[in-house]
Structure 1
Amino acid sequence: MIKCDEPRTLGVPAPEARLRFEAEEVEKAEREGRSRRRLLVVDGEPAFELSHWCGTCPLLFRRLVTATQKLSLEDVRERLTGTLADPGDGGVIDAFGALLPEGEYLPVLLRVEPRLVIPGQEGDYFRGEQVDSWGIDQFWGLPEYPHTPYYRTFETAVGSSAHLYEFVVPMVPPTWNERERVEEYVELMGRGAVPTAVAVSTLDVCQAENAFGDDQSPHWGLTHFLLDGHHKLEAAAIAGRPVQLLSLLALGEGLADAEQCARLPALRAQPRSARKTGA
């Protein structure tokens, strides 16, 4: 972690926000014979299904078929090509705050070294650590599937039993990125540049209950949904280089209480450590 600011009120009235968090309509869920979903909505279309409200179901960020939009802002691109010294540098927070629903957000400036993960392959949280705690889905007989590549960036212990996992989730798959722009960032990073990406983030604290895994320890999932930086994150993963990530943590939108959110800066400043199996 580079710096954590104080919580601040950002955003516009929810109907005007390009990105917002919503509960699915009861009637729609009933028509389809399932429980209501917790959703991240972009430009009026459901983009991601999020962890269920109960807090005992597995952590989830599942991309939906209507997730087709990025939220980059051209007028701040030049500032984000360089290194920010402060979360509020250059009015970046206010610029991206105008995309979000009105609420309390905690700005945190992080330095991350992203590793691209393909679901079902090595390093996939959903087939690894999550199965260790929840087991596989008893109906499908499979692990949860996020329907998107994503980046893993950090993890650390939370006390003696729980564990924090950090993810950066692109709004669209890296295969949609422009190759020339990715290569430009690879070259810039090779010369020592550390560009900045921007994300809106949630903290979900989930604990398996009556599950089928061997490890029932709580999982703290810090999930960053990229607003700007799709090409930068892919380039950093290719080059093995760091990027900065300006995270706007949406307080009250995740499955974490105020005390848990307040612990996040200190946890994110800890040394990186993998979970001990059977802890």
Structure 2
Amino acid sequence: MACGRTARTVVGVMTIVGEPRRLGVPRAEARLRFETELQERGSAPRRRLLVLDGNPAFELSPWCGTCQFLFQRLEGAGETLSLAGMQELLAGQVSELDDGILVAFGSLLPEGDYLPLLLRVEPRLVNPGQDGDYFSNEQVATWGPDQFWGLPEHPRTPYYRTFETVIDDTAHLYEFAVPMVPPLWNNRERVAEYVEWMGQGVVPTAVAVSTLDLCQPALSLQSTDEYEHWGLTHFLLDGHHKLEAAASAGRTVQLLSLLALDESLSGPDDHRRLGALRSQSSLSRGARNPRRPA
């Protein structure tokens, strides 16, 4: 059964936005959950974390609101979260926000409000410090390098850039798909199978839990391009081989995302804008003419 949704479509871009859903299991039973690490009782929060099986898997953007946008892989990110009962269904294109899929993957997450998104993406694999790295380019242009290390922030993982678009003159949306394990760990034969299937027109579906973090820089003498960064980050639960295959073959995949509303550094008004923003043509910062998604 498909849940209620709002569909917005433009040429080459498919976006289905559902209504917020209450999903998940009691916090103690969730394999993947968000936590705030404290220095000591009564102190300010130190790190905002995505935790897998009790171990810190990713450090996320700080709570301060003026700090840099961040996802940084930690030692606890060493396992994918595919569900055996979902593999056949997700091997092809999913046309609706299927309740069975949402509830199944919701069982990995803590009880909370989630906004289901069904997106079409053409992922591009990026290595930190190399061509196309957000942290070495767009982020440095706004915040400058880290004030202690004198270097750009480092995600400690290859990741996928999937979409970006202009919000207005003062804000820009960047979208990322972040694997729980690096593509180097993927099974080569499995990746090759997906490349072959995609060449035959198959559009498989990946699943992620996501956050939307809005990061507005304070005044900085090092900034050459100051504006608010909207970071829409999809942490892959299922689909690691699919994303790598699509990136290597220049193909598209679907991404079924559960946006964690309670855990994002954004509010209801921002969440309501996502469908329209995500259905725009992909535009780089400062671009005036539409281009294909990166």
* Structure-2-length-normalised TM-score: 0.90
CA deviation map 1:194-222 (0-9, x unaligned) = 00000000000001103321111000000
Q: Partners in 2 of 1:65 and 1:134 — Cα distance? A: 27
1:168 aligned onto 2:149? no
CA deviation map 1:3-23 (0-9, x unaligned) = 111111000011110000000
How many residues end up aligned between the 2 structures? 273
1:77 aligned onto 2:87? yes
What's 2:186 paired with? Answer: 177
List runs of 5+ in structure 2 lacking aligned partners. 1-13, 288-294
CA deviation map 1:17-43 (0-9, x unaligned) = 000000013239x8xxx9610000011
> Which residue identity does 1:80 align to in structure 2?
L
Distance 1:137 1:10, change over 3 A: same
* Structure-1-length-normalised TM-score: 0.95
What's 2:63 paired with? Answer: 53
Alpha-carbon shift at residue 87 of structure 1 (Å): 1.3
Q: Partners in 2 of 1:47 and 1:87 — Cα distance? A: 27
1:214 aligned onto 2:227? no
5 Å-filtered alignment, 1:1-279, equals 1-27=14-40, 36-88=46-98, 91-211=100-220, 212-276=222-286
Q: Partners in 1 of 2:236 and 2:49 — Cα distance? A: 16
- On the 8 A contact 2:27/2:110 being kept in 1, the answer is yes
Alpha-carbon shift at residue 2 of structure 1 (Å): 3.0
Q: Is the partner of 1:235 in helix, strand or coil?
A: helix
Q: Partners in 2 of 1:261 and 1:216 — Cα distance? A: 23
Distance 1:175 1:45, change over 3 A: same
Stretch deviating more after TM superposition (211-220 or 48-57): 211-220
Q: After the TM superposition, which parts of structure 1 deviate over 6 Å for at least 4 consecutive aligned residues?
A: none
Stretch deviating more after TM superposition (17-26 or 168-177): 17-26
> Which residue identity does 1:144 align to in structure 2?
E
Alpha-carbon shift at residue 108 of structure 1 (Å): 0.7
- On the 8 A contact 2:36/2:45 being kept in 1, the answer is no
CA deviation map 1:77-133 (0-9, x unaligned) = 0000011010126x1111100001100001010000000000000000000000010
| RMSD over equivalenced CA pairs, Å | 1.6
> Which residue identity does 2:73 align to in structure 1?
R
Q: State percent identity of aligned pairs.
A: 65
Q: Partners in 2 of 1:106 and 1:221 — Cα distance? A: 16
- On the 8 A contact 2:204/2:242 being kept in 1, the answer is yes
CA deviation map 1:172-211 (0-9, x unaligned) = 0000001111011001001100000000000000011033
List runs of 5+ in structure 1 lacking aligned partners. none
